[in-house]
């Protein structure tokens, strides 16, 4: 039986990934397969190492989830995809 191993997005891709709506940087959570825009409370799914950056398919998260993601980003020193 084979084990599925999560792969991280290519660091070169992360350096240029921006929210398609506000063009700002994102937070990448590889173990959650998602990119997150804290300004718009919007999460983009990463499936099979391909980020789905379609605004209409993004998930808007509630305040509780936003707080969890921001606390995690701070405690784990998760950087933004690029410096604004």
d(CA 63, CA 66): 5
Q: Which long-range contacts (CB under 8 A, 24 or more apart) does 39-42 make?
A: 41/66
CATH value at residue 20: 2.20.25.10
Number of domains into which the chain is organized: 1
User: Mind listing the pLDDT tens digit for each residue in 5-49?
Assistant: 455 888 888 899 999 999 999 999 999 999 999 999 999 999 998
pTM as predicted: 0.88
**Position 56 pLDDT exceeds 90:** yes
Q: What are phi and psi of 51, to 5 degrees?
A: -75, 130
Listed in sequence order, the DSSP H helices in the chain are 11-14, 63-75
Q: Which domain holds residue 17?
A: 11-75
Q: Domain for residue 66, yes or no?
A: yes
The secondary structure element, H or E, covering residue 51 is strand 50-51
Q: Domain for residue 83, yes or no?
A: no
- What pLDDT score was predicted for residue 6? 52
Q: Shortest CA distance to 45 belongs to which of 81, 55, 84?
A: 55
């Amino acid at each position: 039986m084979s084990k599925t191993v999560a792969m991280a997005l290519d660091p070169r891709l992360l350096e240029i990934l921006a929210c398609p709506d506000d063009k700002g940087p994102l937070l990448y959570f590889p173990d959650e397969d998602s990119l997150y825009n804290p300004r718009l409370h919007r999460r983009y799914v990463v499936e099979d190492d391909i980020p789905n950056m379609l605004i209409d398919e993004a998930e808007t998260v509630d305040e509780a989830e936003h707080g969890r993601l921001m606390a995690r980003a701070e405690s784990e020193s998760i950087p933004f995809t690029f410096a604004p």
